[in-house]
Structure 1
Amino acid sequence: MSSTVPLRPGDPVRVGDYEVTGRIGEGGQGSVFLARTPAGESVAIKVLRPGPAGQDTVGPGSPDRFLRETEILRRVAPFCTAQVVESGTADGRPYIVSEYIEGPTLQQVVDAEGPLRTTRLHRLAVGTLTALSAIHRAGVVHRDFKPSNVLLGRDGPRVIDFGIARVLDTSATGSGAIGTPPYMAPEQLEGGLVEPPADLFAWGSTMVFAATGRPPFGMDSLPAVVNRILHREPDLGDLQGDLGDLIADCLSKDPARRPAARDALLRLLGAQERPAGTDLLSAGSAVAAGATPPPSPPGETSAPSPPVETPAPASPGEIVTVPGAASAGRPGVVRLAAGAVALALLSGGVVYLLGRTGDAEGGGPASPSAGSVKAVAEVTAAPGPATSTTRLPGLKTTLHENPADPVRMSSFMYIGGQSTQSYERDPVSGRFTATGPLLEPAMSPDGRWTAMLPWLKDQTPQPYDFVRLVERASGREFVVRLTDKRLQNYNPQWSSDSRRLLLTTYDNSSGVRKPVGFAVVDVATTAVTPATLDAEGADGAPVMWAPGERTVALRYGRGPSAGLRFYDLRGRTVRTIPDVGEAYATENAISPAGKSFVTTCPDVYGSMCVWDTATGRRRSSFSVGKSFLTIGWFNDAYVMYQDTSKNPQQIIVADLKGRTARVLADIPASEDNGKPGTSVHRFTRR
């Protein structure tokens, strides 16, 4: 990539803010140029080729879709990859700006100098597996890994063009035979789902090319190559030993038999090249560059962007850690084009790679150890008037806020119509950022962490459920396994000190979601404490933190006989308050100081009742109409509920006599250009 040629007539002299200085190359997707930033730094810019009838190669309405699809590429951790800097459109043509790596491609080196041997080959294998691990952990599948997409830079190999094939797939289904045939996996040639195992197959083929000068299934006619890939065994030449065994495993016809990139990297590194205290990807980068991997600073660990790997089953509580892109401020999450949600979830980013608790790259997020829970002071101040309005991105929902509000909408998920997307909110700027479709985000009270849960559990291919913890400032991520797939976890709820995350565990095997327990994740250690409980009659209700947060509570029963049952953190029943109505809130039915809880009244239809937590006596009741949704508490003297009888619907703050104090949000009952949809909102207590 170091050699450039002068620009041709018609080549751009500027792309966005970048001055184009030369032409690097050209391919089926578009042209690549060398350019300078306003600060004088060199970058590579790929400008996509126009398609038939003047359409861009990324399909109808492509600029917006292209920008959505490429946003994830910027969040790949920069381990042995050419970091994506920016994406945009210029004169209607999409482009991608990436770090400029000076050096030839692997294809050029092997063609000119012959196969790589011994140490050079080993470093290439380690570096490219490190890159694939980072790419997969960012929710991306490369889909076109091959010798011409590996640059041999001065500091080791770098993988380029990751995820571009996905961006250019106009079907947006995650299927289709996109790639370079001699390096394509059987399932890719047959038009199946292209998942991380396909990248491992391409990696194995590329390593055979590096070691022998030819791909393992030949380079003659296309039908012959395809037939060998589908039906014949690979020709590995004289490759032997650990590397040869690993490559053979990666070239299995069965995707399930191929190792995940992380596991393959672990096999190559071994204990000799991975000193204690060094995270996996840093060690891989150091080995690829021919350096000694530096140990992590005391008390510091690294964490991943979300992976897209298919690992072997692991044990509850397993985690993976790898450095994320600090500039992102948010993790890499798969972003899918509308209309392909269920299928794309399988192929594009909700399969996560797990490591083992306590290994050298783990240790969990750095966070204060959990101590004794302090009593929460009761706050009863009336809400101040709204001082600002904020429109939710992509929707017509409008927030009415005051900086003194003790709660704030911190995330939302929209499901329906032509768009399905989740957003989280920066606690400082107040801006909302898309996190990916069908993810259930929950921000910690201190704003440091966001918990991410996949919403469609059955569409994720791994046999277990998980939660992803994202450190917002650094982009570090920790993926924590919760339960085996028969059980599913929803309703994330943070403790008031942001140190623990509570999730409700459901059994959905009968098609009806039934709570059977809960899990508590300790953020400091990423340890998971599961508990089973007697949830007879709970009927889909979520578990919630109880006063003091040493116990939890769960509604049981329906109608007038419904009650509230309290459990210790081992799942043992400690107390029951019967006949109080249905305590069901999207946040928490128990007030912040724990003195009261709210239910739908057992005896008056369309009313809310407030009860004393200590005695179980009714404190007040008031009418809110026949169509409402209980959200929770504004503070200890004001409740929040959503009036669903109007259009727009409203989130209302009311006192304990039912008097409206303020409207927090106006939510049109139909969003997305008039097509019906559902918005799921979450609030964070500040």
Structure 2
Amino acid sequence: MSVTPGIYRLLGCAVIVISVAAPTSLTAHAAGSAPAVAAAPAAGSADLVLPGTRVTVREEPADPLKVTSYTLGNVAYLRRSAGFAKQTGYQEITVGPRGAKALAVPTAYNAGHDWVLLADLAANNGAKVQTVDKPLVAKFAHWSRNGTKAVLTVQRKNGAAWDTTGFVIVDATAKTARAVAVTGVDRTARFRWSPDGAEVVAGHQGGTRFYGQDGRIRRTLVKTGIPAGGEDVFSPSGRALMTWCPATYTEHVCFWDRTSGRLAAKANIQPKALLGWWDDKHFIAVVPSSGAYRAVLADLRGRAVRVLADISAEDWANKVYLSYTRR
């Protein structure tokens, strides 16, 4: 359902305020945030310190991706023209391709429902969309490449763990959501889009399974390892799938031909996390570095060619996650 926002000015920055029972505002500036390092001129590189952390992001004007949001534990931060700002009431914010829209996942139910805030960042307005009923939750949002829809993973609490039961598709144009229960889904599955946005994919018993938007199985690649982290597990061309290699491999990161299912390459790198593809020949990996961590740009052999972010040990322990969006 849509909600009409009121817009006012705070410290010279536009702020979206949406009147609903649960918190639904995406602010453009947060008072009291840790100071950010001033960006360098557009012609050069820029080092940005993320508010609330000691993480330094290193950017260049020609980069095909940039950090548009991040989470620190269950607190989300969004990037606007004024910089990064904490978004109270949200545990996750994912910005769509080219930065037009964002999907924010709240920290609490509203009237017995889980929901998302679908925000139009250009128009400074938004809509609250219900996803699933309590006790289910819907999180881990991933946008389709054309930005018209997003998929979230649906989970149910099982003791101290959360088991996946299916997915939710949010239509960004109609501002509606449709939940799909998936029979026999892997309890650890996390759903993302295929390159053409026609199917969703998730790990399944050490392999990769493709599903129709109705939840029916379309195809399974066995023994690939589970799809890797980041906003998109497929290369920009759509030809390659990145996974965590099967346990029988010495290497940790594998690349597979999406059409044939054959192994295309293995990267000799031992990352703590994978944050997605940069281009068809490089990916983003978080690796240990002198008692701390770095997000590095690595080639398909696992050789680091550039540092994208410096991450302190404390921030890594507090579960910082950088979300990159393709420009």
Asked whether the two chains share a fold, i.e. TM above 0.5, the reply is yes
Secondary structure of 1:446's aligned partner: helix
| Structure with more of its chain in helix, by fraction | 1
Q: Which amino acid aligns with 1:532?
A: A
Q: Is the 8 A contact 1:453 1:466 kept in 2?
A: yes
Contact 2:251 2:266 in 1 (8 A): no
79, 86, 93: which one aligns with 1:434: 86
Residues in 1 aligned to 2:143 and 2:286: alpha-carbon distance in whole angstroms: 22
Q: Deviations over 1:344-371 (max 9, x none)?
A: xxxx97367xxxxxxxxxxxxxxxxxxx
- Distance between the aligned counterparts of 1:439 and 1:539, measured in 2? 22
Q: Which residue of 2 aligns with 1:340?
A: none
**Letter paired with 2:323:** R
The one of 295, 302, 308 equivalent to 1:658 is 302
Identity of aligned residues (%): 26
Which residue in the other structure is 1:622 paired with? Answer: 267
Please say if 1:331 is aligned against 2:13.
no
Alignment CA distance shift 1:609-1:598 (3 Å): same
Letter in 2 for 1:410: T
Q: How does 1:96-175 map to 2 (within 5 A)?
A: none
Could you tell me which residue of structure 1 aligns to residue 4 of structure 2? Answer: 322
Q: Which residue of 1 aligns with 2:79?
A: 425
Q: Is the 8 A contact 1:424 1:441 kept in 2?
A: yes
Q: How does 1:483-562 map to 2 (within 5 A)?
A: 483-536=132-185, 538-557=186-205, 562=206
User: Which of 1 and 2 has greater Rg?
Assistant: 1
Deviation string, structure 1 residues 451-505 (Cα, Å, up to 9, x no partner): 11024x4xx4631100001222343220000110121101111111221111111
1:681 maps to 322
Residue 535 of structure 1 and its aligned partner are, at CA, apart by 4.5
State the partner residue of 2:22. 350
Distance 1:574 1:629, change over 3 A: same
Provide the C-alpha distance between the structure 1 equivalents of 2:294 and 2:237, rounded to a whole number of angstroms: 26
Query: Hey, what does 2:32 align to over in structure 1?
Result: none
Where 1:331 maps in the other structure, the secondary structure is strand
Amino acid at match of 1:486: P
Tell me the distance in 2 between the aligned counterparts of 1:430 and 1:407: 19
**Which residue in the other structure is 1:236 paired with?**
none
- Report if the CA contact (8 A) 1:446-1:497 is conserved: no
- For 1:333 and 1:676, the matched residues in 2 are separated by 33
Q: Counterpart in 2 of 1:234?
A: none
Judged with a 3 Å threshold, the aligned counterparts in structure 2 of structure 1 residues 676 and 583 are, in CA distance, closer, same or farther, namely closer
Q: Report the equivalent of 2:51.
A: 393
Q: Which residue of 2 aligns with 1:473?
A: 122
- Relative to structure 1, is the Cα distance of residues 320 and 509 closer, same or farther in structure 2, using a 3 angstrom cutoff? farther
Please give the residue correspondences for 1:100-499 in structure 2 after superposition, counting only pairs within 5 Å.
Answer: 319-325=1-7, 327=9, 329-332=14-17, 350=22, 387-415=45-73, 421-426=75-80, 429=81, 431-436=83-88, 438-455=90-107, 457=108, 460=109, 462-499=111-148
Q: Deviations over 1:381-400 (max 9, x none)?
A: xxxxx822111112110011
Amino acid at match of 1:478: A
Task: Report SS of the residue matched to 2:6.
Answer: coil
Cα pair 1:323 1:476 within 8 Å, conserved? yes
**Alpha carbons of structure 1 residues 505 and 321: separation in structure 2 relative to 1, 3 Å:** same
| 1:488-545 alpha-carbon deviations (Å, 9 max, x no partner) | 1011111112211111111224442122111111111112232222343x23231000
Counterpart position of 1:86: none
Shift of 1:660: 1.1
CA distance in 2, matches of 1:333, 1:320: 10
Letter in 2 for 1:681: L
Q: Supply the distance in 2 between the matched residues of 1:621 and 1:349 (Cα, whole angstroms).
A: 49
Higher relative contact order (CA 8 A, sep 6+): 2
Whole-Å separation in 1 of the counterparts to 2:260 and 2:171: 31
Q: CA deviation at 1:586?
A: 3.2
Deviation at 1:330, TM superposition (A): 3.8
Q: In structure 2, what is the equivalent of residue 115 of structure 1?
A: none
Distance 1:510 1:529, change over 3 A: same
Cα gap change, 1:430 to 1:658, in 2 (>3 Å) = farther
- Identify which of 214, 225, 231 aligns with 1:587: 231
Structure 2 Cα separation of the partners of residues 652 and 534 of structure 1: 38
Q: 1:501 to 1:434 in 2, by over 3 A?
A: same
For 1:370, the equivalent position in structure 2 comes to none
* Deviation, structure 1 residue 605: 4.3
Structure-1-length-normalised TM-score: 0.42
Q: Confirm or deny that 1:640 pairs with 2:312.
A: no
TM-score normalized by the length of structure 2: 0.85
Tell me how far apart the structure 1 counterparts of residues 283 and 179 of structure 2 sit (CA, whole Å). 31
Which SS does the other structure have where 1:325 is aligned? Answer: strand
* 1:256-282 deviation per Cα after TM superposition (whole angstroms, max 9, x unaligned): xxxxxxxxxxxxxxxxxxxxxxxxxxx
Kindly tell me the number of residue pairs found equivalent between the two proteins.
305
- Structure 1: which 5+ residue stretches go unaligned? 1-318, 335-347, 353-385
Deviation (angstroms), 1:654: 0.8
RMSD: 2.5
Q: Which amino acid aligns with 2:312?
A: P
Choose the corresponding residue for 2:222, options 571, 575, 578. Answer: 578
Greater per-residue strand proportion: 2
Gaps of 5+ in 2: 25-43
